Amino acid sequence: MRKPRAAVGSGHRKQAASQEGRQKHAKNNSQAKPSACDGLARQPEEVVLQASVSSYHLFRDVAEVTAFRGSLLSWYDQEKRDLPWRRRAEDEMDLDRRAYAVWVSEVMLQQTQVATVINYYTGWMQKWPTLQDLASASLEEVNQLWAGLGYYSRGRRLQEGARKVEQEQLLASGSLSGSPDVEECAPNTGQCHLCLPPSEPWDQTLGVVNFPRKASRKPPREESSATCVLEQPGALGAQILLVQRPNSGLLAGLWEFPSVTWEPSEQLQRKALLQELQRWAGPLPATHLRHLGEVVHTFSHIKLTYQVYGLALEGQTPVTTVPPGARWLTQEEFHTAAVSTAMKKVFRVYQGQQPGTCMGSKRSQVSSPCSRKKPRMGQQVLDNFFRSHISTDAHSLNSAAQ
């Protein structure tokens, strides 16, 4: 005969023999006053039960929690993905370098998919393997490596953080105190910033999917801008003019084509854009300014529409000097510069409008045969399979008709 579990108090001994009694025992255990025979041995179980939020995770004793934790960690060791930051965390013996490697991965993975981050992370750690290496880098280098990853302030703040740390103060402190941790959660105080607020109680139908709660997002505001690709002949080929954005705000410190805010009329727009171009490159012929199309790019909180213009300086003396904050680059240098994805889209539109090129906007890529991407190997196999069957079927139909 199976021996019944010991009850907390004499009033629960009869109920403990049934399933209903065990559930009531688990629910009321934290409220019942422990008897003298229980002593301190029952306190760990009470702590576990009080900390449980969902009925799916009501553990009976500390041994069950320990066993569950071991099973979960064992499953993770067998099934986890092979990722570069995990390899560094396992292989790196220097605690400071390990913490730095984890910090970089955590920042890069904010709002960004793992598949996108891997190459950026690998390149970053090869270029700046330590905190000191990052602190000695320039903002231009950081922006250049970060270009295309999005949320560009993350890279700038990583470097700022590296410069605010040097290394003696971190080692002297021993640990970073004051940071809340989920294990230190106090569910009964109502002051935990990691748990669901009282206004959003636990949903039994969701289970663990209650976490994390996705914050409601406002739709991105819409803005418009006019930008111009200014090109001139150079000794090493055509050159294009780029200017640097301010060190704060959207796309801080990155390089872009000269741009102005959108004007209500085409005449005012051209005038404002031409003035902006002349501010960087001197007198320019207004008649050569051409409207090429538009590019729509959505940032985290802004949906920005760029009206794309082009101006090619032909038959003029090349501009050799520009004020600080501007520079001429070749097309090859442009692709490796610290420019945003939006500017790369703008440049593709400009290239698509030039004689002898086969690039441009998505619309021109679809209609232009030479710009179509080569299908992947799997797609080629499928295409060949169906093409052969279609030709065979067509031949059979023609024979039958004859």
Q: Is 106 a catalytic residue?
A: yes
What is the reported pLDDT for 89?
Answer: 82
Buried b (16+ CB within 10 A) or exposed e, 172-182: eeeeeeeeeee
Q: What is the pLDDT of residue 147?
A: 87
Which residue ranges in the chain fall short of pLDDT 70? Answer: 1-57, 166-200, 211-215, 354-402
pTM of full prediction above 0.85: no
How confident is the model at residue 388, as a pLDDT?
Answer: 58
Active-site choice (106, 160, 200, 332): 106
And the tokens for 315?
A: 């038959």
Query: For residue 400, which amino acid is it?
Result: A
Closest residue by Cα to residue 96 from 164, 166, 156: 166
CA distance 222 to 294: 14
User: Which residues lie across from 240 on neighbouring strands?
Assistant: 231, 329
pLDDT for 31 equals 46
Q: How far apart are CA 46 and CA 29, in angstroms?
A: 7
b/e map of 91-125 (b: 16 or more CB within 10 Å)?
ebeeeeebebbebbbebbeeeeeeeebeebbeebb
- Whole-number pLDDT of residue 329: 93
**pLDDT at site 194:** 58
Residue in the block written with tokens 């003696």: 168
Question: Kind of pairing, strands 290-298 and 326-330?
Answer: unpaired
**pLDDT tens string 374-392:** 566 666 666 666 665 555 5
**3 state DSSP class of 100:** helix
